A and B are shown apart, each in its own frame.
Chain A
Amino acid sequence: MKKKKIYRAFILPAIITMVIIMIIPFLFAIYITFHDVNLLESGGAFFFAGIKNFKTFFTDKRALNSVATSVKFLVGALTLEMFLGVAISVFLDRKFPGKGIIRALVIIPMFMTPVVSGLIWRAFFDPNAGIVSYLFKLITHRQLDMLGTMSGAMWGIIIVDLWQWTPFVILLVMASLDSLPEETIEAAKVEGASEWQMIRHVKIPMVKPTIIMAAMLRALEALKAFDTIYVMTKGGPGSATETMNMYAYTVGFEFYRIGYATTISFIFTIVVSLGLSKLLQRTNAL
């Protein structure tokens, strides 16, 4: 009994910290969603608004467009990152000279802060002086204005996400490939499995849980993407790259409608949490 009390005493600081930094802000956010809070009116005072903010969200065309944009970005970035990440990992999973150096080089983009990578790629895509535009013109004799068109801008931010976060998938999948039991691989070789059969029917099924975990983590991060988009396009041109995060930021910090901005973020959090927990259940069932 005494021991139990001591254990509880040790756990208590962690619980208190969690309540202060997670539970209280979350409950306060829920409270704000039911209020009109405008920094330009009444000094940011709270006025009860019922479910008005939620109703507004479902009738706000720009908000709904931002949901579609988030999904487009998620599907584009995630599909390509997973495909490339797994392919590169499998390619690197063999013995060759300089393997260590290549592995180290591949993961460099991951260590760059998103703002810096966004600024670098914005300069690369600059139609007048950027290296990407220059090379494109050299090859095709046509001007490339990547971030100046609706579809180009979306591809632009997907490419940057791809460049920065494919290494994350590589890192996880390679670690998993490295830990595969030698006996299984040897057994497959003895059975006469070709290189492709080995990858397709032995290695990939064995690292499948890691691939699913990597996909989930990447999906979460892709949905949260903000800084790269902010510095590259600010959600434009038009609202071509305005994801839910970007729109919530705009509503909160440009329109000063804190109540509605919190509602957008709240809906976003709930949808993402439900989606991911569903996915996690399926993964566990596999």
Chain B
Amino acid sequence: MKRNLAFLLSAAMMVTSFAASGATAYAEAPEKALAGTEITVLCEGHASSNAYEKLLPEFEEATGIKVNLEIIPYEELPQKVLLSFSQKSTDYDMIMNDSMYLQGYIANDYIAPIDEYIADDTLNMFYDKADFVESYEKTVESDGVTYGFPVYGESTFLMYRKDLFEKYGLEVPKTLTEMEECAKTIYEGENGEVAGITLRGQQGVHVVYVYGAYLWGYGGHYFNEEGKLDIATDEAVAGTEAFVRILNSYGPAGFTNFGWQENRLLFQQGKAGMTIDATVNGAYCEDPSGSDIVGKVGYAPVPCEVENAEGGNASLTVHGFYINNAIDDNQKKAAFLFGSWATSAKTQEASIGVEPHCGLTSKTAMYSDAFQAQYGAFANDMIEALASGNPLYMPTITEANEVINRVGTALSSCLVNGSDIKQTLQDVCDDVNTNVLK
């Protein structure tokens, strides 16, 4: 009996001490409240995702939450997310994607609002809304409700080889015609060994991404006032002709199969005089571990042909983290903690040193000494490009993917066989307006 009593007493003491220590730990470290939870996050192949992968042990140690990062190429990400969401699957607790999908996700109840967690003091220790670049933060909101975290923001700018420009006495081009002249001079001066310019030409989203510089730059637009595809106008045709001409005359061999990766690598290898692409490429150009042109690249706004263009001819895209609405509340809280940690000023600043990640969304990180030290060569040009980026640069309607694919296929045909450009553009407008935007 005495032994039993002693056992019960010691058991009670143990339980009390565990409870007390747990309560103390919770009071001291509320981020540990979800320790033992496991979440899976679907990320796109991007410098930010690679940085999170490397910095993840810090988060796991701080919170005790196990995070499985699944990183896949962006081309495959939207369909994977949609298939998963439409099946109400709980495979992914959080996903990364372009904010252009936000309205579709909200309309279908695919993602969870996060305001409740933002207001929860036991969860919001990493979150600081005021620190996000305001225009980025707005892209993850709808009707005053917050749905996600801005992970990275990008625009486009012109990257040119300062050494080649100096060699041939060239001025930084302000118009697309001047840019073609520069491309011609470099291409001919280097006997075709160095391409005058390299741009993405692969059908689909890649060619459309760069084509925007010409479409908007010549005064064109994607949609008319009735919301119909309208890229067979005189302005759009002139822009497309210039786009096809510059690549076919002074572009590199194989440009029709160039996506982001191929285009970036060719320029980094010093095989082209200029390129227009995402601002993140600046970080790759200045990365000594993979670039042959460190310190030789100049950065400038995307040249624009007309002064009264309807919209800017530089892009503005923001990709964010969104929480799957099909998962349970505990999982949502863990996902919230990870999202807020990943986009916190501290993590973003740390990411500068581990990956060529320059599309930061935290103002503290963006204006930090570390950022200036690493990306000083183009930091100001990038911030300028972001400020003037056109949010409608790419189609942003619900059917955007289909429109982009069909326009991209038509552009690819124009680039390859030099078919009647006006007719090809008219055909794709008819096709899209009849079959897609009914």
Q: How far is the CB of B232 from chain A (nearest CB, A)?
A: 17
Whole-angstrom CA separation of A61 from B20 in the bound complex: 72
A56/B202 contact (C-beta < 8 A), A148-B416, A149-B416, A254-B402 known: no
Q: Which residues of B contact A148 (CB under 8 A)?
A: 253-257, 416
Interface flag for A9 (CB, 8 Å): no
Also in contact, A128 and B271, with CB within 8 A (given A56-B435, A237-B203, A237-B412): yes
Q: A40-B104, A43-B86, A128-B266 are in contact. Are A255 and B415 (CB under 8 A)?
A: no
User: How would residues 75 to 104 of chain B score, 1 for a CB under 8 Å from any chain A CB and 0 otherwise?
Assistant: 000010011011100000000000000001
State the Cβ distance, B409 to closest chain A Cβ, in Å.
Answer: 6
CA distance A60 to B432 in the complex (A): 11
| Cβ-defined contact, B405 with A255, below 8 A | yes
A129-149 Cβ-contact flags toward B at 8 Å (1 or 0): 000010000000001010111
| Chain B residues, Cβ within 8 Å of A218 | none
Tell whether, in the assembled complex, residue A145 and residue B402 are in contact, meaning their CB atoms are under 8 Å apart.
no
A25 to chain B: which residues have CB within 8 Å?
A: none
Find out whether the CB atom of B405 lies under 8 angstroms from the CB atom of A250. yes
In the complex, the answer to whether A147 meets B257 with C-beta atoms within 8 Å is: yes
Q: How many residues of A contact B (CB 8 A)?
A: 34
Knowing A127-B254, A254-B405, the reply to whether A40 touches B82 (Cβ < 8 A) is: yes
Digit string of B417-436 for contact with A (CB within 8 Å is 1, else 0)?
Answer: 10000000000000100010
Count residues of chain B with CB under 8 A from any CB of chain A.
Answer: 35
> Is there an interface contact between B79 and A253, defined as CB atoms closer than 8 Å?
yes
**Closest CB in chain B relative to A191 CB, distance in Å:** 57
CB closest residue in chain A, given B104:
A40
Find chain A residues with CB under 8 A from B252 CB: 128
CB distance from B337 to the nearest CB of A (A): 27
Q: How far is the CA of A231 from the CA of B410 in the complex (A)?
A: 20
Across the interface, do B413 and A238 meet the contact criterion of CB distance under 8 Å? yes
Binary interface profile of B, 371-398, with partner A (CB < 8 Å = 1, else 0)? 0000000000000000000000000001
Residues of A within 8 A of B202 (CB): 234, 236
A42 at the interface (CB under 8 A from B): yes
Closest B residue by C-beta to A56? B435
B254 touches A39 (CB 8 A): no
Knowing A43-B108, A60-B435, say if A238 contacts B86 (CB, 8 Å).
Answer: no
A9-35 vs B, CB cutoff 8 Å, 1 = contact: the mask equals 000000000000000000000000000
Residues of chain A within 8 A of B85, CB atoms compared = 39
**CB-contacts of B326-352 with A (<8 A):** none
A150 in the interface (beta carbon within 8 A): yes
Measured between beta carbons, the chain B residues less than 8 angstroms from A257 are 402
- Give CA–CA (A257, B415) in the complex, Å: 28
Q: Decide: B203 and A40 in contact? CB cutoff 8 A.
A: no
- On whether the beta carbons of B254 and A126 are closer than 8 Å, the reply is yes
- Confirm or deny: A256 has a beta carbon within 8 angstroms of a beta carbon on chain B: yes
Pick the contact of A39: B86, B257, B415 (CB < 8 A).
B86
Given the complex, which residues of A lie within 8 Å of B110, measured CB to CB? 43
Within 8 Å by CB of A237, from B83, B86, B271, B415, lies B415
Q: Is A44 an interface residue (CB 8 A)?
A: yes
A236/B256 in contact, CB under 8 A: yes
Q: Which of A44, A150, A254, A255 contacts B416 (CB 8 A)?
A: A150
Q: Nearest Cβ distance between residue B426 and chain A, in whole angstroms?
A: 13
A147 to B258 CA separation, bound complex (whole angstroms): 11
| Residues B254 and A44 in contact, CB atoms below 8 Å apart | no
B257 with A238: CB separation less than 8 A: no
Say if the beta carbon of A176 comes within 8 Å of chain B. Answer: no
B82 touches A256 (CB 8 A): yes
Is the C-beta of B115 less than 8 angstroms from some C-beta in chain A? no
* B399 in the interface (beta carbon within 8 A): yes
Q: How far is the CB of A215 from chain B (nearest CB, A)?
A: 32
Docked complex Cα distance between A202 and B256 (Å): 50
Residue-wise interface mask of A (143-167) relative to B, using a CB-CB cutoff of 8 A (1 in contact, 0 not): 1010111100000000000000000
Complex CA distance for A235 and B401, rounded to whole angstroms: 16
Tell whether B134 is near chain A: CB-to-CB under 8 Å: no
CB neighbours of B203 from chain A (8 A):
234-238
Contacts of B303 in A (CB 8 A): none
Question: Is the CB–CB distance between B82 and A254 below 8 Å?
Answer: no
Whether B417 pairs with A43 at a CB distance below 8 angstroms is no
Whether B204 sits at the interface, judged by CB under 8 Å, is yes
Interface check B109, CB cutoff 8 A: yes
Return chain A residues, CB-CB under 8 Å to B417.
149-150, 238
B402 touches A238 (CB 8 A): no
- Cα separation A253 to B401 with both chains bound (whole Å): 10
Query: A40 contacts B254, CB within 8 Å?
Result: no
Pairs A–B under 8 Å by Cβ, sample size 16:
A39-B85, A39-B86, A126-B254, A128-B266, A147-B256, A148-B253, A149-B416, A150-B417, A234-B204, A236-B204, A238-B203, A238-B410, A238-B417, A253-B79, A253-B83, A255-B405
New contact pairs (19) apart from A61-B431, A145-B254, A148-B254, CB-CB < 8 Å: A40-B82, A43-B109, A60-B435, A128-B252, A128-B271, A145-B253, A147-B254, A234-B204, A236-B203, A236-B257, A236-B412, A237-B203, A237-B415, A238-B410, A238-B412, A240-B416, A254-B402, A255-B399, A257-B402
Residues of A within 8 A of B (CB): 39-44, 56, 60-62, 126-128, 133, 143, 145, 147-150, 233-240, 250, 253-257
